[in-house]
Structures are given as structure tokens and as C-alpha cells.
Structure 1
Amino acid sequence: MEQDFDFFYKWAKSKLNIELDAYKENQLQRRITTVMKSSGATNLKDYAELISKDQQIKRIFLDYITINVTEFFRNKEIFDEFELVIKNVIIPKFKSIKIWSAACSVGAEPYSLAIMLDRNNFSIKEKIVATDIDDTILKKAQNGVFREHEIKNLSKNDLDKYFSIKDDSYSIKDSVKSMVAFKKHDLILDKYEQGFHAVICRNVTIYFKNDAKNEIYRKIHDSLVPGGIFFTGATESIYNPKELGFKKLSTFIYEKV
């Protein structure tokens, strides 16, 4: 049975304020069909009605559509490179910095940034801004409780200093939590805050069509101060940085010009 995705996209925009048209079509439709079937619905109109009536089904849908795989210092070698750029390029120029972790998922990335800043005694102008589209995920991020597979890139010293450990749960300490401010934000629909010295948006734009992806990159460019740094994911190299106002510093790190 052919599904009415056009209807569902319009419904999601109207009722959930999610711009599904921006996502890569085949990949998105497979995910929607899978999560729809798990609810017991056989067509998208019935599924939309279920989402409207049942908060649990709505939460499962949002969790499944917005990808939330993460870990501390994800792709550690690349993150180490970013740390060097902050140390050698950004700090000497700006002294006190403002950072945004976009599409932060359960919080491992902004907390990684906080740990990195603390390790190096870097001064931040204000709290790290950490945003995501998903309210449920943001609540989990604010709780700051992680499992062993999510903290595998951290040393024992880091775990002892920055976490309270009980059984197989690792709770981020308040000293780290206090460095991060979590907010809801939609990369497609919402306005972007300004004045950042570094923006981290990793492993997210791979799910968007090229037009939407380039629009996100342009908005991130505008949100950065001149000389600010944009850190992308391991599968998200920008092929037209000059057109978007960036200079390539490394495969995944770009400077606003």
C-alpha cells in the first residue's frame, strides 16, 4: 500500500512544527514507515491520529526521527584536533569565548566541551549553549546521567573529576552542568543566536537535503563572529566552503572569513 507522505509532511509541519521536507527522502520515509508499523498503524493518516492522541506514541516518533546516537568526545582524534584549534587559534584571538553545541542530543557533546574548557582553564563569556529539537532528549541531557558505552573516550582521571559513579551509571557533576544551558531549537525553522566564537554541529546535516544543508551552513556562518570556528561531523565535509563564507582549516573544521 502506497503511503501518503505528502499529507504526513504537511501534517507534521502544521501540528508538530517539524520540517520533514528538508530531510533526505528515501532515508526518512524508511524510518517513518518503520516507526509507524511499530505503533500498529497501517497508514500515515491513522498514524498521525495516533500521534495526536497518544503522548507515548508521539515521543517514540520524535525520538526515532531525530537521531540521538552520541558519546563523549565522539570521534576522539577529530575532537582532539578541534581542541587544538580552540587552544591555538580561538583563545589567542578572543580570550573569552562563546560556544554553541547544535543538535546536542543527550548532552554528551556540550558536556565534552565543558570538560575540555575546564581541563585547559579556558574562559567562557557565558554558558555553553546546547540545543536540540526534542524536549525529551533535552530533559535527559539536563539530568546528565550516562552509561558506560557513552563515556568510553574519557580517562579515569576525567571520570573521577567530572562524574559521580554508581553501579553502571555516570552522573555528570554540578560543576560541569553549571557550564551548559540547554534550549529547544529547530535548525530548519528557528532563528539562530549570534556572536559565537565556535559552533559545533556534527552528524546531523547528513540527514538533510543539500538545499537545507547549505541553508543551515549559511545560518551558522552568520551566527559566528569573524574568525569564528565551525566544527562539523566525520561524514559532513563541506565541498563549497568559499561559497558559504568559510575557509577550510582541516577536513572538519572551518573558519568564518
Structure 2
Amino acid sequence: MDLEYFKQWVYKEFRINLSAYKETQLHRRLLSLMSRVGVNSVEEYIDILKKDADQRQKFLDFITINVSEFFRNPEIFYDLKNKIGTELLPNNKNLKIWSAACSVGAEPYSIAMILDEVAPNGNHSILATDIDSTILQRAQKGEYVESEIKNVSKNDIKKYFTQIGDKYVVNNKIKSMVKFKKHDLILDNYESNFDLIVCRNVVIYFNSDIKDEIYKKFHASLKKGGLLFVGATESIYNYKEFGFEKTSTFIYRKV
């Protein structure tokens, strides 16, 4: 498989830097995609991606890992909720938060619900970004199926969602707290002065050089004392090198 040729084509076509991904994982994912459409060469697969909009979107979804649900790993979100209440809000009543690689929006909306509960009078801002424009459009709609809200309590479903058919739609108050924007973690500049950055289950797919660069940029984007919240499989073993201290298993504080 001519992986380098495919990487170059994807970068030119989508501005996605596949060189940042771990080689073995990328190779495995690409072979899986190609087998699903019955092709054996990169050239054949590129031809399909050029002609078939559905396959293009399936490729983007598969490569950019659009898997999400509300309060993914609920016990870790409970820990975050405590940290917001005890560490962030005492210093600032109006929090600036970034949900990076937000996928379908379940994560930033989960954070908005937490803020509505612990600090409903604050003028909070949540920036939610992703590399995939189509996914961002879905996130802005705020429509979810039952499996995506399985971790939301019945009371909060009543409070924050309207059921329309088999869809659950986030209410306007929660939607208004989140601003969605296209952003590439590898290629684009980062905003600054965040109290909290949430980036979960994405960085694990990148090689170590790119991963380290992202953690350095996150550190620069946080206020002193700001928190970085990562996924349940993403402990940062060399966190001190990036200027963080560990405040709990998956939450790091900027020193």
C-alpha cells in the first residue's frame, strides 16, 4: 500500500495531516475502509472518494473518530464537576472553556449542563471545535438518539431535552452556551486564557511528537491554574515536562 501517496492526497484534499497519526493504526483503519468498498489499492480508493460523497463522509468520520456520548465515563465527569466547583469557580465566576475535537457536540453540551447546575448565573463561554464541518453541523442541531444520552439522568433529560420522535433535542439555553467552530489541532493556532480545556480520546491516535506538541499548546492556552481534562485512556505520564501537575487521574492543572 502506498501510504505516503495517500497521506499527500488527503492533506491536499482535506487539509488533514495523516502523518500525525500512529502508522500502524492508520494502516489498519485504511485497510478496513478499503475492504468495505471492495478495493485493493490506494488509487482505487481515492477514485471512489473523488466520486462518492457518502464514502468521503464515511472516510472523514472513520479517520477523525467521531464517537461520542453525553458524560462519557460518568465517574470522571463527576470528578470534573467537583473540580469546576472547588478550583475554577472560586477564582472566576465566568468561565472560558474549550472542548477540543468535540465531535457531535455531546461533550460541550455535557459541560454546559454542569455549568447550569453549579453556576447558573455565570456568563460562561464554551468554544467547541472539530476538524469535520459535517459533524459540526450535526452538533449545532443538538439532536441525539437514546444511546447517546444513556448517561444522562431522567431528571436532566426532562430538564435539558425535548423528545421529538426518536430524537432528543438539546434545549436552547444549553445550545446558547456553546459556540461551534472548525479547527485543526495540528495545523491551526490556538486561542488563549482558557480556564478549562477538554480534549478526550483523540490525542491517543497521534504519534508522540504531535502529541507532545499539542500538550505544550494546551498549556500555553490555559490560564495559570487552568485545568486540562483528558480521556479515560490518556494518562499523560510526562505531564511535568509540559508544565502541569496532576490534580486527579485524568485532570491536570497548569502550574
Q: Quick one: distance in 2 between partners of 1:53 and 1:176?
A: 38
The unaligned stretches of length 5 or more in structure 1 are none
Q: SS at 2:91's partner residue?
A: helix
1:1-257 pair list within 5 angstroms: 3-122=1-120, 124-257=122-255
Amino acid in the other structure paired with 1:76: P
TM-score (norm 1): 0.95
Superposed CA offset, 1:71-120 (max 9, x none): 11110101100110110001111221100001111111000011100011
TM-score (norm 2): 0.96
Residues 124 and 130 from structure 1, CA distance in 2 versus in 1: closer, same or farther, beyond 3 angstroms?
Answer: farther
Q: Quick one: distance in 2 between partners of 1:151 and 1:95?
A: 28
Q: Quick one: distance in 2 between partners of 1:210 and 1:82?
A: 26
% identity of equivalent residues: 53
| CA RMSD between the two structures | 1.3
8 Å CA contact 2:108, 2:178 repeated in 1: yes
Amino acid in the other structure paired with 1:41: V
Q: How many residues align?
A: 255
Q: Quick one: distance in 2 between partners of 1:120 and 1:126?
A: 12
Superposed CA offset, 1:163-219 (max 9, x none): 001333111111111111111111111111111100000011111111111111111
Residues 57 and 69 from structure 1, CA distance in 2 versus in 1: closer, same or farther, beyond 3 angstroms?
Answer: same
Amino acid in the other structure paired with 2:199: C
Amino acid in the other structure paired with 2:54: Q
The unaligned stretches of length 5 or more in structure 2 are none
Q: Quick one: distance in 2 between partners of 1:96 and 1:121?
A: 9
Q: Quick one: distance in 1 between partners of 2:75 and 2:138?
A: 26
Q: Quick one: distance in 2 between partners of 1:11 and 1:125?
A: 43
Amino acid in the other structure paired with 1:49: D
In the TM superposition, residue 42 of structure 1 has moved relative to its aligned partner by: 2.2
Q: Quick one: distance in 2 between partners of 1:48 and 1:195?
A: 41
In the TM superposition, residue 125 of structure 1 has moved relative to its aligned partner by: 4.7
Q: Quick one: distance in 2 between partners of 1:82 and 1:127?
A: 17
Q: Quick one: distance in 1 between partners of 2:185 and 2:16?
A: 10
8 Å CA contact 2:95, 2:125 repeated in 1: no
